[in-house]
Amino acid sequence: MTLSLTLTPVPAFDDNYLWLLDNGREALVVDPGDAAPVLAALDARGLTLAGILLTHHHGDHVGGVNALRPRLEGPIYAPAHETMPEPVQRVQGGDSVELLGLRFAVMDVPGHTAGHIAYFAADVPGTEGESSPLLFCGDTLFSAGCGRLFEGTPAQMLASLQSLAALPPETRVCCAHEYTLSNLRFAREVDPGNAALADYAAWCEARRAAGCPTLPARLGTEVRINPFLRCAEPALREAARRHAPLKLPTEPSPVDVFATLREWKNGFR
């Protein structure tokens, strides 16, 4: 009999989520930038730490790794091409890893950092008998947004986002930050006619007002409301052209649109 798995966003710092997935006995944690809240969650539920998944090298994602090693009873999987708190087991796109009886496909998703990876599991049993896919995407995809380009190019980031958007629509998207309301303000600025976006914004605002996370998001929703996943659509192309009419050609490519939207978002308040 397959045990159900509980997915928990563990808050850390100002707006991070350190994702914890457990079967009631063992747990894995994703991007533990801070060990303290992870240890508190493990202790509160009597869980063994069976493994760690790391998506990229930024300190708010790896800073707690060494402090968790004394409790760790399994592997640490990490990007093949980024500086990591050694020792780790290096993985890259095309590889797969197994934890808690699940097989996670590793995906290369450069853009936010040069060697950023994501982990995707196709069939994850939930606590109410349902199963759905699960994506740990670090800082590549956020609900209604995407990560800043610190090391990659717009073309790389757009390709990474397109690879994630091609996953099943029922996929639960486990982003690493609670940026949703800020992202939605920008999304509604650039895509004001999107009714699905307006409905989703109302739902997210109610969630945050009640002190609840907006995550995990559903990929099918993101494909409808996230401007960075819709760069080929006329509404977003026109928004980009209005914002930067002197920079864009008459028929801008999706990469042109993405680059304009990302630069616009960088300065949006």
Residues marked active site are found at: 56, 58, 60-61, 112, 139, 177
Q: CA 260, CA 231: separation in Å to the nearest integer?
A: 10
Q: Which residues contact 46 (CB under 8 A, 6 or more apart)?
A: none
Q: Exposed (0-12), middle (13-18) or buried (19+): which is 114, by Cβ within 10 Å?
A: middle
Q: CA 118, CA 107: separation in Å to the nearest integer?
A: 5
Residue 120 contacts residue 105 (beta carbons within 8 Å): yes
What are the backbone dihedrals phi and psi of residue 163, each rounded to the nearest 5 degrees, phi first?
A: -65, -35
Residue 80 contacts residue 110 (beta carbons within 8 Å): no
Residue 197 contacts residue 225 (beta carbons within 8 Å): yes
Q: CA 24, CA 39: separation in Å to the nearest integer?
A: 15
Q: CA 94, CA 239: separation in Å to the nearest integer?
A: 36
What are the backbone dihedrals phi and psi of residue 53, each rounded to the nearest 5 degrees, phi first?
A: -115, 130
Q: CA 59, CA 240: separation in Å to the nearest integer?
A: 33
Residue 120 contacts residue 160 (beta carbons within 8 Å): no
